[in-house]
A and B are shown apart, each in its own frame.
Chain A
Amino acid sequence: MPHRHVPPALWAIPLSAVLLLPSPTLAQNVPTLDSTTQTARAGYYQLRWGMEDADGAIYRLEESRSADFQTAQILYEGADRATVISGRSDGTFHYRVQATLPDTTRSPWSSPLTVEVAHHSLLQALTLFVIGAVVFLATLALIVTGTRRHQEPA
């Protein structure tokens, strides 16, 4: 879906006049959109959104690989106000959200949010895996040999 641009001449109108103008399609509030992290090291994160005075609103969350949302896909559409993204490979992901109120008016898009997925290095992961295996095997050896040695009552 194309990004909704602000008309170029709008800057010339006083802000108070803009706020007072009735709009048939746009709600006055703007949804907020947040992520639990800006850099996801394990491929998962939670996105949360919401809007003031928006009871009964239906939200539409879009994701895009490009900052201009030219190739955006709808990730969620409904009344919930959060979603968990997981299992993502390395890359940069852009999000925005829009609310539709019960009277069918639509809010502007939220400010875009960018999350970068950058997994830990495989070398670091394998090193810690080996350390974990060594600790486990050493503990197992301690218990097995200890149990054998102390078969008789102490």
Chain B
Amino acid sequence: MSIQETAILEPGLAWLLIALFTALYVGLGWFFGRRDKELDQFVLAGRKVGLAVGTATAMATWVTSNTTMMAPQLAYQIGLWGMIGYALGSVGLLLFAPLAKRIRLLMPHGYTSGDFVRLRYGHLAWRIFLAISIFYSFGWLVSLGMAGGVLTHALSGIPYWQGMTVILAACVAYTLIGGFRAVIGTDFIQSILILVGLVAIAWLVIGRIGFDEIHLSLQLERPELLTLLMPAAIMFLFNNLLFGMGEIFHSNVWWTRAYSFREGVGMWAYLLAGIFWAPIPIVAGFIALAAPALGVNIPAADMVGPIVASELLGLAGAIIVLVMVFAALASSLDSLLAATAMLVVRDIYYRHLRPQATAAHLRTATKVTILLLGIIAWLLCLPRITTLAELLHFTGAFVASTIWPIAAGLYWRRTNRIGASLAMVMGSLAGISAYFLIGFYVGALVGAAVSMVIVLLTTWLWPQSFDWETLKEPPPRH
């Protein structure tokens, strides 16, 4: 049953826009990926990505539909800290910059984040890591698919499942056709669409509503959103920062980029992407605070961004939001599909099941996996079980527990395999307990803290002497 009966866009116009941009992305996907016949080209764009495209792909991938829809949701639910806390997600990109440089140096022939954990910590830690990473990937995939449905429903009244299905299918299609080069090529176009869209919305909003009016309505109707001492918001601040770090440090989405960038590019690409990304959630989050001043009803917290933008800006605003958020979620969905498929194929299929597989066979397996991931994500998206923020933050406890095993593993010889495995398991358990006992705004924080203590203790108590050369595993002979 629909919970919202009023929408700005005619469903026909919304379908037309979705069809146009789907055709654009599929066409671009074919164009960018038409020459990538080799496996290395299909999955890592030949390891020659330059600074401009590198920065754009890192930024566009991190500007997900979650940034444009969850930042307003959190501002609407927990106020100023929600908005600022979300912007602290840029810290993950900034801190991954030196890690990307080191990853490229230590593992010139690496393919996945799983390769690092396998070589650095052995098979037990590797399998724990794969479970966490694949679970997280599904959480992110489902939140993106859900965002597609929520967005089209909020703007046009199109039933949730229809919008979700079409947007998910579009992203699967062009990722399948073009491979990794299509992903980063479309990311470049999509990052331009996102930035232009945000600037246009900010420019239109400034002319229509004043700070005083927003402040007064919040003070009268929702005073806690303005207070800097709201307990849940205070806890959320570092939770979101650590969640972002956990997402980026462990996820194959970011590792494949580190491997694919030309030498010397990774550090600057991630630094610039972090700097460009930081203001985006502030702009996106701010418009949610205008909802009380507008007197507009918000039926679900994750619909607040699109509803306020279209209420404030009418048809033009609704069109801009649809194009921008479609670009934002497509730029992340394609990256996630490609990177997760690669993790599944290389770390599970190739390493566990078919070590003799040829390059051509793995290329086909990657395509089949992209399709399967799309289908499974679609099935999981169908029952809209929770809000975007609560779904994504559920995975926070797990990914934050990988921060210390990854960072310490890249810099400290003495961090050992038992410590890394224990840190990921105990960190995840502690984080998920905190998620249920306290709230979604503490899962990552508690997970990261417990994991850090275990890594520090075990490194101190049972130091190992790791040989960095072990990470320079020669490329597989397919």
Contact = CB atoms under 8 A, between A and B. Distances in A.
Interface of A: 41-44, 46, 48, 50, 76, 78-84, 86-89, 119-122, 124-126, 128-129, 131-136, 138-140, 142-143, 145-147, 149-150, 153-154
B5 A79 contact: yes
Contact of B245 (A41, A81, A82, A139): A139
A146 B411 contact: yes
Contacts of B223: 87, 89
Contacts of B222: 86-88
Given A42-B232, A87-B225, A121-B231, A129 B299 contact: no
A143 B99 CA distance: 8
Given A86-B225, A142-B407, A146-B410, A135 B1 contact: no
Interface stretch (B197-205, B375-383, B440-448): B440-448
A120 B298 contact: no
Q: Interface residues of B toward A: which range? A: 35 or more
A125 B301 contact: no
B240 to A, nearest CB: 9
A54 to B, nearest CB: 11
Nearest to A153: B105
A43 B232 CA distance: 9
B124 interface: no
B465 interface: no
A87 B445 contact: no
Interface of B: 1-6, 76-79, 91, 95, 98-99, 102, 105-106, 218, 221-226, 229-235, 237-239, 241-242, 245, 297-301, 304, 403-404, 407-408, 410-412, 438-439, 441-442, 445-446, 448-449, 452, 468-469
Contact of A135 (B102, B229, B235, B242): B242
B6 A44 contact: no
Contacts of B3: 48, 80-82
Nearest to A122: B231
B310 to A, nearest CB: 15
Contacts of B304: 84
A42 B238 contact: no
A154 B409 CA distance: 14
B224 A80 contact: no
A25 to B, nearest CB: 24
A48 B448 CA distance: 35
Contact of B297 (A83, A124, A129, A138): A83
A137 to B, nearest CB: 10
B267 to A, nearest CB: 10
Nearest to B245: A139
Contact of A87 (B218, B297, B299): B218
B231 A124 contact: yes
Contact of B299 (A80, A124, A143): A80
A123 to B, nearest CB: 9
A119 B218 CA distance: 18
A119 B98 CA distance: 39
Given A86-B76, A133-B238, A143-B99, A81 B411 contact: no
Given A78-B297, A139-B245, 17 more contacts: A78-B6, A79-B5, A79-B6, A81-B3, A83-B297, A84-B304, A87-B79, A87-B224, A119-B231, A120-B232, A129-B235, A129-B238, A133-B238, A134-B449, A139-B407, A150-B102, A154-B469
Contacts of B239: 128, 132
A84 B245 contact: no
Contacts of A76: 297
Given A46-B300, A133-B238, A128 B230 contact: no
Contacts of B241: 132, 136
Given A119-B231, A139-B95, A147 B297 contact: no
